[in-house]
Chains A and B, each alone.
Chain A
Amino acid sequence: MTEARPVVEGANHTVAAADGYEPVIGLEIHVQLSTRTKMFCGCEIRFGERPNTHTCPVCLGLPGALPVVNERAVIFAAMIGLAFGSDVARRSLFHRKNYFYPDSPKGYQISQYDEPLCRGGRLGDVRIHRVHLEEDAAKLEHISASGRIHGSERSVVDFNRCGTPLVEIVTEPDLRTPEQAREWLTLLRATLRALGVSDVDMSQGSLRVDANVSVRRAGSRELGTKTELKNMNSFRFLERGLRAEIDRQLGVVRAGLTVEQETLHFDPASGRLTTLRSKEEAHDYRYFPEPDLMPLEVGDELLQAARSAIPELPAQRAARFEHDLGLSAGRARELAFRGELGDYFERVVAAADAAPAPELANWIPLLVERIGSDTDPAGSRVAPEGLAALAAMVSRRELSRDAARTVLSRMVEIGGDPSSLAEREGLLALPGGDGQLAELVERAIAQDPGAAEQVRANNMKAIGPLVGYVMRETKGRADGGEVRRLILERLAPH
């Protein structure tokens, strides 16, 4: 391993636009499929078990063992291709990718090369180059103080994971900023999760992302030399790593030098980029067609099974929320990109009768705030009907917004319906016609005659403190809109 390369510490945002350079980013994603058994053998896939307890001659690479393709892995891969609108090849080939490493028991990985399962397609703003099937390597644990490979003398190999089906997705270099990359990955993850083909958990290793990064003069059609960024453990680290590498490359080209092709690792703790492999060490994998497997043929039946297994996907759902239900683009994506949120929201809409969906949608983030972004709302104490009822109470002005938030918090804690909760806790809105409010309005005006004078003079900004006084006095129970109306009525002569 070569020594660490000091980094141009990533600025908070790229300055590419400023001096005419633009970054170009492409992603290479490996997705571990959630099939029951491995890609080429019948070993059950289990994680966290005692090492080397889920292996057989095939995934151990014992002499004489032979691979047999897992049908469900092919269906899952076809589903991914169909979700992208890719061309799913009726006939594709497996190839041997030859290299020596302790995590590769055969000394080659069975993968796909120039005849992959899927070509083309797109997801959101990014075009897909290809999608193919391959097998995962074993797990290598390095015995050292840090557990990392540097400084370790011995390693230990566990083959439980070896042979797990992987789908490799390669995008076109359509991404232009690290933020865009992170957002797109969020959409990808939501899409794969909706398909049900993978756990897509980066921390568990069921989703792995490598990035290819280069810079070029804005408006140029050519691509600059690209470097590869590998082994990032989260979308956030990936974003930071991309930023660091883009800044580094910009520094290089601005100094009149050329970017060298290499493979880099970004350490989020130190912010440093390290060279893993230089171009000279690039591997010749000597690909040739896998003689132990005949061509993979995807027939009508399999394609139909894949097609019918595809549910509404996040991108489509977001479009529907926006166009059919009237949500803003941002809110639509927010709710559609997390399957459980979208599901829960639709149940709220169904329970809410004629209430407008955008208004209902605003309540979901408030719920998420209270239960945590990792919790499925369907598993919380707030039933969709309850949330719909709460929203209805607010639109009927039976509850002020502030009070409703409090009621929501109580619903999260103890469940129950909002109406009885609000009543019990004395949070019901003060009705506008009740003399109580009118009396408070008088007091508000009396205690701040200056503001009152401003309002009479048509300076509406001054109404704020008056409304605020009444809200405080009623401990938020008054309906803000109603208070404002009463004040205006009182002050603005007609």
Chain B
Amino acid sequence: MTAALVQLTAAQAGARVRARELDPRELFEAYRQRAATDELNAFTWVAEAPAAAGPSPADAPLGGVPVAVKDLFCTEGVPSQAGSRILEGYRPPYSATVVERLTRAGAPLLGKTNQDEFAMGSSTENSGFGPARNPWDRARVPGGSSGGSAAAVAAGLAPWAIGTDTGGSIRQPAALCGVVGFKPTYGACSRYGMIAFASSLDQAGPLTRDVTDAALLFGQMVGRDPRDSTSLKFPEPVRLPHADSLRGFRLGIPEELTGTEGGVEPGVRDAFDRSLELAEKLGAAIEPCRLPHAPHALSAYYLIAPAEASANLARFDGVRYGLRVDGEADLLTMYSRTRAAGFGLEVKRRIMLGTYALSSGYYEAYYGTAQKVRTRIAQDLHAVFERFDLIATPTSPWTAFELGAKLDDPLQMYLNDFCTVPMSLAGIPAISIPCGLSDGLPVGFQLAGPAFSENRLFEAAFALERAIGYDGSPARG
């Protein structure tokens, strides 16, 4: 019974609950058990039972289908650690706006998922609570930083999940785990209650089994929040997609992001090319395009994000909450020992990098210049979208790598984000859908569009997804 339940998409399960064919408590318990016996270390916390609050699931838009939530979303009374020891056991007195919206829409909290510490990483190996594993091959990483969410959905431990994407942290793990991952237009979803990494880049988004589930979940997350000054009113209702062709879509393929510059593996390139052929058969007009500043996007990102992070993480000082080390020593010692003990290596690296980029005398050369590169990248994309509706790239240059394989050289790890960072810098929406396997490992296909083009994105992704006919069930066991 449970095995059959787990094969349903979230939309299908929700429809059954609303039709009174399925008991939401049975649905919750089926997933809860799977999450509680998780061997992938995808979860850092699992609920004992659905929280009492919320409308009757049978009448709610999301039909009582439980959702896994990345650890860095504040969930009231429930550990919210952002994957870090400095927040081990921290239980916030409030919940993130998007979590509240999902609960009210009838998606109860299933559990909190593992992640790279403070969303810094592309493999979930930077988690303070051990790495998560890829359900396709447990010796490999699920990607990051939302690796736990991606693994949970891929393995059928959760019907759907939410994560955050700053430079690719939803899309890349989705690609490596063979699920759908979506990053909205910057400002579409509220950041209130999302433990901040890089404020001008962070966005919440869904990780789901298919595009319909992604649109369904996003539709309940989206909307202006008076508590988040950067959040915007989404200009139109979010629609569930149903396109069966790509006629009328002009697809641009940026040369800088699809060639060997980013080190795209042959297997990934093949899967990508096959998908482009399918897209053409579906009626899309496909042409190459140029994003001249895209090769510098990673550099700009690795100055802007750490700079903002260095300030966002300054609040972890052992004074009001979280870890405190050597509180009986003097103030400076307490600050430095607390942060030395509480932060992992990658976080420390980025804080140093960010502090340096903002320092007096260096600001113009580093942070200031990176902000100008950001302008250029946004301009490049804007120009492309005058000729094209969407652009397409592989999501990740390679498939899931082995645990430990890219820990020696930070630059190698940063290159994971080569294809995803430009969209983050420009604040435009992008979706990754599984487009096939390469040596038995999933490959992701990324589509991106101009700001607020979510509905068009979902339509294109939906049509392509149907044509591709990807089957993710082997990972669900």
**Are A105's CB and B315's CB within 8 A?**
yes
Q: A62-B93, A63-B82 are in contact. Are A68 and B227 (CB under 8 A)?
A: yes
Contact status A292-B229, CB under 8 Å? yes
Task: Please state if A288 and B358 are interface contacts (CB–CB under 8 Å).
Answer: yes
Q: Is A291 a contact of B314 with CB atoms below 8 Å?
A: no
Expressed in whole angstroms, the Cα–Cα distance for A62 and B96 within the complex equals 12
**Complex contact B94–A57 (CB within 8 A):** yes
Q: A287 vs B361: C-alpha distance in the bound complex, in angstroms? A: 12
- Which residue from chain B places its CB closest to the CB of A286 in the assembled complex? B358
Report the Cα distance A432→B211, complex, angstroms: 107
Whether the pair B319, A62 counts as a contact (CB closer than 8 A) is no
Chain B, Cβ-Cβ closest to A288? B358
Chain A 73-115 interface 0/1 with B at a Cβ cutoff of 8 Å (1 = within): 0000000000000000000000010101010011110000000
Main secondary structure of the interface of A (DSSP, over half): loop
Given the known interface contacts A96-B311, A284-B360, A288-B307, the answer about A62 and B335 at a Cβ–Cβ threshold of 8 Å is no
Chain A, residue nearest B358 (CB): A286
Contact with B along A278-291 (1 / 0, CB 8 A): 00000010111001
Q: Does A157 contact B (CB under 8 A)?
A: yes
- Chain A residue nearest in CB terms to B195: A63
Least distance between B164 CB and chain A CB atoms (Å): 11
**Alpha-carbon distance between A422 and B82 when the two chains are bound, in angstroms:** 81
Q: Are B335 and A292 in contact (CB under 8 A)?
A: no
CB distance from A108 to the nearest CB of B (A): 5
Is A219 at the interface (CB under 8 A from chain B)? no
A287 contacts across to B, CB distance below 8 A: 358
The answer to whether A98 touches B192, judged by C-beta atoms less than 8 angstroms apart, is no
Q: Residue on A with the closest CB to B193?
A: A64
- Say yes or no: is A460 at the interface (Cβ < 8 Å to chain B): no
| B229 & A100 in contact (Cβ 8 Å cutoff) | no
Q: Which residues of A contact B191 (CB under 8 A)?
A: 64, 66
In angstroms, how far is the closest chain B Cβ from the Cβ of A157? 7
Of B82, B230, B358, the contact of A294 (CB 8 Å cutoff):
B230
**A98 x B311 contact (CB < 8 A):** yes
CB–CB A288/B92 < 8 A: no
Q: With A57-B94, A291-B308 as known contacts, state yes or no: A106 contacts B331, CB within 8 Å.
A: no
Given A64-B74, A64-B192, A291 contacting B199 (CB threshold 8 A): yes
Question: Which of B69-85 touch A at CB < 8 Å?
Answer: 72-74, 80, 82
Tell me which residues across on chain B come within 8 A of A291, comparing CB atoms.
198-200, 230, 308
Q: Is the CB of A106 within 8 A of B363?
A: no
Instruction: Find out whether the CB atom of A68 lies under 8 angstroms from the CB atom of B229.
Output: yes
B136 within 8 A of A: no
In the complex, chain A residues whose CB is within 8 Å of the CB of B314: 98, 100, 106-108
Which A residues are in CB contact (< 8 Å) with B192? Answer: 64-66
Q: Identify which of residues 187-203 in chain B touch chain A, using a CB-to-CB cut-off of 8 Å.
A: 191-196, 198-200
Does A10 interact with chain B (Cβ within 8 Å)? no
Query: In this complex, which of B94, B194, B316, B319 has the most chain A Cβ atoms within 10 angstroms of its Cβ?
Result: B319
Contacts of B93 in A (CB 8 A): 57, 62
In the complex formed, the residue of A with least CB distance to B94 is: A57
A69 pairs with B320, CB closer than 8 A: no
Min CB distance A65 to B, Å, is 7
Residue B2 at the chain A interface, CB threshold 8 Å: no
A480 interface residue (CB < 8 Å to B):
no
- In contact, A157 and B228 (Cβ under 8 angstroms): no
A66-B229, A288-B307 known; 5 other A-B pairs, CB under 8 Å? A63-B87, A106-B314, A287-B358, A291-B198, A292-B230
- The interface of chain B, by Cβ under 8 A from chain A, is 72-74, 80, 82, 87, 90, 92-94, 96, 191-196, 198-200, 226-230, 307-308, 310-311, 313-317, 319-321, 331, 335, 355, 358-360, 363, 367
Point out residues on A near B: beta carbons under 8 Å: 57, 60-69, 96, 98, 100, 102, 105-108, 157, 284, 286-288, 291-294
Sample of 17 A–B contacts (CB below 8 Å) = A62-B94, A63-B316, A64-B73, A64-B192, A66-B191, A66-B192, A66-B230, A102-B331, A105-B320, A107-B311, A107-B314, A108-B311, A108-B314, A286-B358, A291-B200, A291-B230, A292-B230
